[in-house]
Structure formats: structure tokens, C-alpha cells
Structure 1
Amino acid sequence: MPINKNKNNSSGPLAGLLVIDASQGIAGPYCGATLASYGARVIKIDPPQGDWGRNVGYRYGSLSTYAIAYNQGKESIVLDLKKPEDLDCLYRLVAEADIFMESSRPGVAEKIGIDFETLKGHNPSLVYLSVSGFGQTGPYAERPCTDGVAQAYSGLVNGNVGLDGQPHKLDLPIVDITTGLYAFQSISMALFQRMKTGEAQYLDVNLVTSALEVQRAKLFEVCVEGESVAKLNVPSGIYECDSGNVAIALATEEHYARLVKALDAPELIEAPKFATFADRADHADELRSRIGEILARQTNQYWEETLGKAGIIVNAINSLQDVVEDKQFAEGGALHPVEHPGVGTFMVPVMPLRDITLPPAPELGQDTEAVLRELTTATK
């Protein structure tokens, strides 16, 4: 009797698929949690000390805020893959699985015995995902890489200039999260391809490539135009107000005309140096300084209302707390409350076809006995 791939009784589009998630941190686990949210059964392989991602954010026993967010809907078993008997358990799980995920540095999986070629021998139709920092080959392949390093290396930090004129790292593991999404996308396409061929597939998804993918248009500009790339639709951006900050986006020349009229600053459209987006990019500092002086006279809420009525794309800079409490999400159904035992209630975004009622993220090893018992029964 095979292992029950639909143990969670899901009706989602990935119901009936078994995922063995041996990845750690954020990127791989986020991919695994996304697979679970679409119906797959995901068994997380924790080392004896636990996935290091269990220590990222506020701690709640063997979990943390990030571990809760990116491991929801999984089961956790503890295996010490340095022990032959535990490695054999993994091989038996892989033989039943559809997808295997790992995030060790290049070369480590082979040393342990969980590399693609080895696991393909146990399952010739396995979809195998490796998540790394710089990829599996090249001079930086074994170089340590985190989200912050990927942001710095890929140019994301350099392109994220703040009001102080300095480049800044985004205080969010955005590259990890993006990598998790691209990993999910890659697995989805690999499953589709497997329907045609039935063959095992190896997927190499890494942080730096993911960070470059989100900069595709900028990458094109740099390759074609060189380093002196014009700022996007000047004077779009963030401005300080009398109270709080405001974000203004200008998609068309008409938006700029409306902005100038709402600011009662006709000189900003009459001057030839401010005639087009290209001209304004050449005089960005001067233009932004003048607009900043005007915006600083009123609060961000005032400008959100005033500029909004003028047909300009604008919003006050919110905190996450502001978003959670906003009527758009309270009444619009975009967020759903989820209760985690012993921790409290948190909100998850509602996405098409995704199950928002998944079991909470597992404590370290909470399912070891049950899964190994099931595996023993299945392989008799």
C-alpha cells in the first residue's frame, strides 16, 4: 500500500502530490508552503537542531514568525541524514514522492547522498529543486549568500535610493521570497513537463538570478544604454510631508500636468527643462526639491486626498499595522485571519485557488513518529 499522498484531504489543484521539503531558511520553505496551500502534501525534513529558519524573527518555542509564515500546512519529521538509517528513511520517502527540495551549498547534497543523480535512482520521475545563492556553477557557486548579499550583489540596493540620497537594503527578505515564488513557478512547469515525458527533472533556482529577474527592464536598459540609466518617470517617488510621507506615481504626461496644477506651480510645466519625462530626468534634483518644498507644507493625508481628487496616483506611506486596520482589507476580503495555537491570530493574503485554512506550521519533529509509521506500513 503506497503512502497516502492526499492525507490532508485537499481538493486543491496539487492534491495527490507528495513533496519532501529538505530546504531551510526562507526561499525553499516558502516554495514548500505555497505547494501545500495549493493542495500538495508537504513533509518537511528537519535536522535534529531544526531548520535555521526557525530562528528568524520572534521566537515561539521551536518556531518563529518567519517559520510560521513559510511552513504552514506542512508536517515535520526529524532526520539526521548523517545516520545511514535516517538516510534510508529519506530514500523511501523520495521513492514515493513527486517533488524533492533542498537548499544546501553546491556539493553538499552529493556528499550527504541526496543529490539529484542519487535520488533519481530511487525515483526516475522525481522533480528535484535546488535553491542556492549564486547557482550551482561559476566562481561564486560556493560563496556564502543570504538575502542581504543577493540584494547587494544584484544591484537592488544600488537602485533603492532613499530620501537621504543613499542606497538602502530593503528591510524584508524580498529576494528570498521572490526566489520562493520562482521556485514554485519552476516546479509547476516541471510538473506540466513531466506529464509529457514522465522523466525526472533537475531545477536550479538561485537568489541572485531571481533578484536579476525582477530587474529585467532595468537590466535591459543597462545592457543597451550603459550605466547612466534615466530615473523612471521623474518626479515620481517618495516625498516628506508636514506629517508622514507620501508616494506619487506618474504614468503619463497628463499625470504630470495634473500634479503641477494641483500643486499650483505653473512654472514647473512652463519651463522647457521640465517639458517631458526625459527633460525632467535631466533636472531631477532641482524638480524634486521644488515639489518637496510644496508638499512639506501639508500632511500626507491632505496630499493623498487632494492629489487623489486631481486624478493622480498617490498614497500616504502606510505601516503594516495601518494596512491590517484599513477598511479596504477589513471589508474587501483580501486578508483572512488564521489562528496559530499558543501564538495568536495573524492575517494571510487571499489568493485564487489557494487554501487559506491550512493547519498551522509544525513544531520541530511533531510528525516524525506518525510519518515513519506510515512509511513502514506503506513499504511492507
Structure 2
Amino acid sequence: MERPLEDVLVLDLTRAVAGPITGRLLADLGARVVKIEPPDADLTRFIVPNVDGFSPYFAQFNVGKECVSLDLTRPAGRDVLLSMVPKADIVLENYRPGVLDKLGLGYDVLSEINPGIIVASVSGWGHGNSRSGRGAFASVLHAEAGVTEMVSRRRGGDAYRNDPMSHADTYTGLHALGAVLAALHMRVRTGRGQTVEVSMAESTLMCNDQAATDLTGLDPQIGFKGGQNWAAVYPLSNGRHVTVTLDLTANFGFKVIAAAMDRPELRDDPRFARIEDRVLHRDEIEAIFGEWVSQFDSAEAVEVAIGVKSVMAAEVRTVAELAATEWAEERGAFVDIVGGEAAAPMTVPQSPWRFREADGGLAPGAVAGDRGQHNREVLRELAGLDDGAIDALEGEGIVSAGVEILSIRRDRRQDTPCAFAEASCSLGRAAPRAFVRNTFAALPTGAAGQETARCWSRGWIAMPVPPGCAVITPIWLYGRAHWAFRTQTQPPHEDECRRLGADSPSAAWSREAVVTDMRLSVCSAHSTIGTIGADC
């Protein structure tokens, strides 16, 4: 079956979450999405934990895209992008307002080349206002748009804290998807493209189902009562937990639980006579109901005992537990994908839509690309460049991929033949500090076989290390990845990794290093990028 957007080409310049989720969903709908990253890469590539060096956080919203690394701050990089615009339908971007124009890639420039182009811009506060120049992450919008305050107030005045989920980002990405699809539909009528801009602030407000109530100035605990979102979580007899879709202070909810528990006398208790009384004594009602719930060992048993079809009980689960359910398999709610050329295995949520006359969503085995993984095929096809031109761009650092070895320094010490070595690596011209999270080095000694050293200290990854090789630990230093290392006959035990990581890694490794002949391979998590040989 065909896919709804299979004739649409998207150039995705976005990073982080709010923009990339839009690109992911467009890809799931069949669009060809080319992710264009700067030399320092999308910052979410470096969010840990990772699987074989690939971040699942990055993969979730970038799987299904072709990945190109291009320096748009340089004229030659800008020209490469412009050469792809005639074939494109949509450009997605989430720079601060005005940055795209400064790069010479604003809508006026792009529409001159392609009048049908749709430029979708995601920003924190929108364009053309007093806050346009401010940056924004989800936590910023949660604080500014009332979410952080509201959650604290609704939970009885708990201390303010940031939510671990990026609601403002994901809401905005979904709103941007709707706006882009509307612009595509409008283009069918007018033949013209346009700009579409979506702010995180307004997206967060629109998705706050309590915003209008809050704007009345009335107390929602009395006037609105809170509905099922006031439902408490109760322990079951087996140590699991369950929530029940009832506001126990509402007339309906209170009537249901009194009948289910066979406690008619509660209706005559003055503490629970009116809604206002029950709100004041909410904790007492929940304690009574919670004690009754605790005799059951499943959500299903609680539902049966309540006996009202409109009242549901739900067990508190992890995402992994839901993924293991019969429902998830029947629905295809999760899909197995791979990260990069190494095919790092991971699972991500599938898109929620199912079409009768079209295919949608990710195909099993879809790839979340490495940085620059698809440079050559994309630049050949969409920019019309041959290998010689691409080689020249790589040589100038305008197109980049993998790791660039900048230098190697050897330090011969008095106490050992060659105790310490240091390698500096970068991604193209810019060398991000975080890149060491996806990079390691090994010192092959010719021994055969593969084992895995699992070092779980912060920023380390599980590394395949042949017996007899050194294990390298990254050290942060001014944006370049540095390693100190030691040789050994077997990969280190996890406890040893933790011990060495607990103090200064550089001191721990260099103290114990004894190297007589060194060959330092600088690797990404999926393949060896380059090797420098050195005799100590």
C-alpha cells in the first residue's frame, strides 16, 4: 500500500525534541525526511544511557530519517542546502527567530528558489514579540506557562520541581505537524508555499486542560472538583499499585465507593455530607477507600468489585511492562529499530495512527542514522554533487561524519617506557565536549577474540574489547575528547571500572600504564574511524 506523504521531501534542520518529533511523524507518514545536522551534531545524540554507543533518546524522534552533517554557517554549506531546496516541499527549523535569515536561508530566499516551499519554524515564544530572542527548553516553558506552579498547587503545595517528561517539546512538535499538514493542503488550492510558525509557549497553554479554569480565578478544588485527575494511587495486596478513575469528593464518586465498600453509614458522616466537606477531608476518604482496595491483587479485581462500567482501575506499570502486554503485541504499539551502521538494537513507540487504505508508521528494522551516515547518497541525488565535490567539502570540514583525529601526544616517563598517551578528536570543525559519550579508543595487541568490558560510570559505554587490549576512559577537557589508558591481559571487571572511575580517571589510568609499542585506534561506538601507530 502507498503511504500518505510518500511524494513529500522534508529538509529537517531541527535539533533536540520539539522539531525532530515533527520530522519523525512526517517520516512515519511516508515523507522522505533528510536530517541536516551541524558539525557539532544534535545534542540529543549524547544523552545517556546508550545502546552500543547509540542514544535511544535521539533514536526515538529521529528514526526513519536520512542523516547529513553540513556546516550551514559557511557559504559553501549554505549553497549545498540551497541546491536541495528546489526538490523540497518542507523545511523544518527550530533556531531562535531571525537566525535562519542571518544564515541567508530565510523564507524570502528559499521561496525565490522554490515558490511552493513551506518553512515551518518552532521557537519558544514565537516570532516578532518581546520574548522572541529568548531561548527555550521544556523546563523553561513549564515554569513560565504555569505548569510547574499548577502541579505543585494541585498536589497540596508540594515543593516546585521540574517534570522529567518534556511536555512542552512534544506538544509543540504535534502542533507543528498539524500546521504543516494544513499548509500542504492549502498549497493544493493556492499553488504557493508559506511560513508556519509554532511557539512552545502557546502549545503548552493549549494542551493545559486546566488553563481556562485557572483563568477564572476560582478554586478548582471546589468549582471544578478535579475529575479523574484527582484520583489517588493505592497499594494492592501484592505490592503493586492501582489507580481508580474516580474523584471521591464528587457526588457520583462518593456514592460509588460507599456502595462498593458496603459502607452506607459514610453518607451520614458530617465530614462527607457535601462536596465542600469531602474536599476538606479528602485524605480521610482516600484512606478509607485505600484500605478497601488493598485486599485485592489486581486492577481487574478492583473493577469487578466496584461493578460500575464507567469506573476503571489501572495498574501502575513501567513502559517496558506495557510493551510486554498482549495489547502491545496486538496493536503493534512498539517497533524494533536499529541505531546507526552498527545496527544497535532498540525499541521505540510506534506512531498511533492506523489507516484503512494506506501504510503508516515505522517499518520494523528502520534505521536511526549516525551523524553524516547518508552524506554521499543524499548530496549526490538532491544536491547534484559528484564524489570529487563531496571529497572537497569534506576536506574543508563543511561536510563531515564520524571522528576526525586531530593529534596524538606521547609522554615518556622515567618510571615506565611509555606511560601516557593522549588523543584529541573532534566532529569536523567544532569539537563538542559531549562527543566523548559516543567515543572510545582501544589498543589492539594482536590477541584474538572479543569480550565486553562494561564500565557504567558516568559517560562511559559498554565497549567491545579484545583480550589483551587497553580500555580507554574519556576525560573532559575544553571540548576535546582525551584519553589516558593502560594495557592489561583481560578486560576489566565492572567493579574495577567503577573503582577507577570513582577518583580522577586520568590519574588512575596513567599511573598503571605500561606500554612498549602503541597503536591507538580512535573509534566511534560502531566502527574504527582511524588508527595512528607510534613506537614509544
Verify: 1:37 aligned to 2:43, yes or no.
no
2:130 maps to what in 1?
139
Cα separation, partners in 2 of 1:227 and 1:90, compared to 1, 3 Å: farther
Verify: 1:249 aligned to 2:250, yes or no.
no
Structure 1 CA distance, aligned partners of 2:234 and 2:156? 11
Q: Deviations over 1:9-38 (max 9, x none)?
A: x82101111000001111111100100111
1:323 maps to what in 2?
322
Structure 2 CA distance, aligned partners of 1:63 and 1:316? 32
1:7 maps to what in 2?
none
- The 5 A counterparts of 1:309-320 are 309=304, 310=306, 311=308, 312-320=311-319
Structure 2 CA distance, aligned partners of 1:96 and 1:235? 47
1:6 maps to what in 2?
none
> Structure 2: which 5+ residue stretches go unaligned?
387-536
Cα separation, partners in 2 of 1:61 and 1:370, compared to 1, 3 Å: farther
The TM-score with structure 1 as length reference comes to 0.86
Match of 1:371 among 374, 378, 384: 378
Identity across aligned pairs (percent)?
26
Which moves more between the two structures, 264-273 or 198-207? Answer: 264-273
1:189 maps to what in 2?
182
Structure 2 CA distance, aligned partners of 1:137 and 1:27? 20
Cα separation, partners in 2 of 1:323 and 1:263, compared to 1, 3 Å: same
Match of 1:351 among 350, 353, 363: 353
Which moves more between the two structures, 355-364 or 370-379? Answer: 370-379
Deviation at 1:221, TM superposition (A): 2.0
Cα separation, partners in 2 of 1:290 and 1:134, compared to 1, 3 Å: same
Higher relative contact order (CA 8 A, sep 6+): 1
Q: Deviations over 1:155-186 (max 9, x none)?
A: 22223248675254332112211111111111
Deviation at 1:295, TM superposition (A): 0.8
Q: Which has the higher strand share?
A: 2
Deviation at 1:234, TM superposition (A): 7.3
Structure 1 CA distance, aligned partners of 2:172 and 2:31? 19
Q: In 1, are the aligned partners of 2:261 and 2:292 still within 8 Å (CA)?
A: no
Structure 1 CA distance, aligned partners of 2:100 and 2:372? 21
Structure 1 CA distance, aligned partners of 2:219 and 2:156? 20
Cα separation, partners in 2 of 1:54 and 1:253, compared to 1, 3 Å: same
Structure 2 CA distance, aligned partners of 1:360 and 1:300? 47
Verify: 1:58 aligned to 2:49, yes or no.
yes
Deviation at 1:296, TM superposition (A): 4.3
Cα separation, partners in 2 of 1:111 and 1:235, compared to 1, 3 Å: closer
Deviation at 1:191, TM superposition (A): 0.6
SS of equivalent to 1:260 = helix
Structure 1 CA distance, aligned partners of 2:263 and 2:332? 38
* Amino acid aligned to 2:361: D
Aligned CA-pair RMSD: 2.7
How many residues are matched?
Answer: 364
Q: Deviations over 1:90-124 (max 9, x none)?
A: 11111211000111112211111122222222211
* Amino acid aligned to 1:351: W
SS of equivalent to 2:19 = helix
Verify: 1:125 aligned to 2:123, yes or no.
no
Structure 2 CA distance, aligned partners of 1:345 and 1:234? 34
Structure 2 CA distance, aligned partners of 1:271 and 1:117? 70
Deviation at 1:68, TM superposition (A): 0.6
Cα separation, partners in 2 of 1:104 and 1:77, compared to 1, 3 Å: same
SS of equivalent to 2:368 = coil
Structure 2 CA distance, aligned partners of 1:314 and 1:127? 45
SS of equivalent to 1:27 = coil
2:210 maps to what in 1?
218
Deviation at 1:140, TM superposition (A): 2.0
1:237 maps to what in 2?
231
Deviation at 1:51, TM superposition (A): 1.2
Deviation at 1:73, TM superposition (A): 0.9
Cα separation, partners in 2 of 1:347 and 1:234, compared to 1, 3 Å: closer
Deviation at 1:260, TM superposition (A): 2.1
* Amino acid aligned to 1:346: T
Q: In 2, are the aligned partners of 1:156 and 1:169 still within 8 Å (CA)?
A: no
Which moves more between the two structures, 136-145 or 124-133? Answer: 136-145
Structure 1 CA distance, aligned partners of 2:346 and 2:296? 29
SS of equivalent to 1:94 = helix
Deviation at 1:270, TM superposition (A): 3.5
Cα separation, partners in 2 of 1:13 and 1:355, compared to 1, 3 Å: same
* Amino acid aligned to 2:187: R
Match of 1:172 among 165, 172, 175: 165
Structure 2 CA distance, aligned partners of 1:236 and 1:266? 23
Q: In 2, are the aligned partners of 1:280 and 1:287 still within 8 Å (CA)?
A: no
Match of 2:287 among 289, 292, 315: 292
Structure 2 CA distance, aligned partners of 1:236 and 1:222? 16
Deviation at 1:198, TM superposition (A): 1.4
> Structure 1: which 5+ residue stretches go unaligned?
1-9
Q: In 2, are the aligned partners of 1:300 and 1:316 still within 8 Å (CA)?
A: no
Structure 2 CA distance, aligned partners of 1:206 and 1:146? 12
Deviation at 1:83, TM superposition (A): 1.5
Q: In 2, are the aligned partners of 1:23 and 1:102 still within 8 Å (CA)?
A: yes
Cα separation, partners in 2 of 1:71 and 1:300, compared to 1, 3 Å: farther
Deviation at 1:253, TM superposition (A): 4.7
Q: Which has the higher helix share?
A: 1
Q: In 2, are the aligned partners of 1:235 and 1:284 still within 8 Å (CA)?
A: no
